[in-house]
Amino acid sequence: MMIRTLLARTSIILSTLAAMAVLLLLLSALVANVVYAADATASAATAAIGPVIESVLGAIGVVVGGYAVRLIHRAVVWLGLEQDARVRTYLEDAAMNAIDYAIHQLGGAIRTPEAKNQAVEVAVAYLRRRVPDALSRFGLAGSDLADYVTARLPRNHDNG
């Protein structure tokens, strides 16, 4: 959950920075309008067109700022999905190691339903010790974790 919180905070920070940049652009356009109006040497045409150009540039800045915020948001979401994929791969590897460990602890074979249940218990305990953050990231606990491990047990119960 820490990574998702960090990504959410990063998204909020980047969105805020983009909004501040847009506001700064609009403020600069307002200042430029005041300067054009105060410039006594400017021609009448320049004085009339200057504020229009600044307004158009300000509007373009707002649109570009909006797209920048959207692009930043997509990048943050993509990074979150990429991180989920990495953690999922890590968890799959850990689950297979846990199953191998459980089979080894049981003498190399799962021949009975009781042995299967013991293997699941050993593998679940292994995962809880080794990868608690990955389990919490995907909400794997209790019977869900046991089902996750059971689904990955070898089909052939004579593993020896």
CA dist 85 and 37 (Å) reads 57
Reported as half-sphere exposure (CB side, CA atoms, 13 A), residue 81 has a value of: 6
Q: How far is CA 110 from CA 7, 127, 148, 160, in A?
A: 43, 19, 17, 8
Residue-wise pLDDT tens digits, 66-122: 888 888 877 777 766 777 788 888 888 989 999 999 888 888 778 888 888 899 999
Length of the chain: 160
3-class DSSP state for residue 110?
coil
Q: If pLDDT is split at 50, 70 and 90, which confidence band does 160 have?
A: very low
Q: If pLDDT is split at 50, 70 and 90, which confidence band does 159 have?
A: very low
3-class DSSP state for residue 157?
coil
Cβ-contact 110, 66 below 8 angstroms: no
CA dist 120 and 114 (Å) reads 10
pTM beyond 0.85, yes or no: no
Q: Could you report how far apart the first and last alpha carbons of the chain are, in Å? A: 39
Q: Residue for token digits 């307004």?
A: 55
Tell which wins on pLDDT, 62 or 5.
62
Q: If we measure between CA atoms, which residue out of 123, 133, 136, 135 comes closest to residue 95?
A: 123
